[in-house]
Amino acid sequence: MEITYLPVGPIETNCYILCDETAKVCAVIDPGDEAERIASAVERTGCAPCAILLTHGHYDHTGAVAELTARWGGIPVYLSRRDTAVGGCDPRIFPPVPGTRDYDEGDTVSVGGLTVEILATPGHSRGSVTLRCGYALFCGDTLFAGSCGRTDLQGGSMEEMLASLRRLGKLPGNYQVLPGHMDLSDLDRERAWNPYLRQALRED
């Protein structure tokens, strides 16, 4: 497993490329902007894109999807239905992403020989998910280095955010924390220093 990341767009959303180097395929996670730059980064990996995985439906995480799917022949795009028009979402914040496939708690997506497990982690939005693969947690805007995602937009809930943070904090072992914005971290560091995660764990 190899992971590449690049901040894209005006608010520097972290886009990730998850590669199975043996099978020579990859998934692109949260392509929020700069489709051309993302496509070039994928090409440099030597892996063929097989899926786009979205941690939630906010525009800054989905903005490059349409251009990339057109370029890559309509590869599957996964997004929780709770963050779509079906879930009653405001299209100004959750712009339509055509042709998405729903995924939810307990589902898995294969990327070559890698298995990506879907963990429902609402709080930032109703449909927010964390993607777990091997040692990595792609947290979207749930868990940040030293912080957590905002809860004041449509579908946000601080109560649900704390429950989701508690769930992540109680996962056994250490994981690389790959958030939707800002710096990368690891779960042990966040358990020790992140005030929101510490609060969530205290309230258990």
Specify the pLDDT at position 83: 93
The mean pLDDT value for 136-155 works out to 96
Q: Which of 2-6, 35-39, 84-88 has the lowest mean pLDDT?
A: 84-88
Architecture of the domain delimited by 2-202: 4-Layer Sandwich (3.60)
Separation between Cα atoms, residue 175 and residue 52, nearest integer Å: 22
Asked whether the whole model's pTM tops 0.85, one would answer yes
Separation between Cα atoms, residue 8 and residue 75, nearest integer Å: 21
Q: Which of 11-15, 98-102, 111-115, 124-128 has the lowest mean pLDDT?
A: 98-102
Specify the pLDDT at position 28: 98
pLDDT tens per residue across span 54-97: 999 999 999 999 999 999 988 999 999 999 877 788 888 899 99
Separation between Cα atoms, residue 138 and residue 77, nearest integer Å: 16
Specify the pLDDT at position 92: 85
> Which alpha helices (DSSP H) does 32-186 contain, by range?
35-45, 59-62, 65-71, 158-169
CA-to-CA dists, residue 82 to 40, 154, 191, angstroms: 31, 11, 29
Tokens of 78: 């996964």
Separation between Cα atoms, residue 15 and residue 192, nearest integer Å: 26
Specify the pLDDT at position 25: 98
The mean pLDDT value for 115-132 works out to 97
Domain map (residue ranges) of the chain: 2-202
| Mean confidence (pLDDT) of the chain | 95
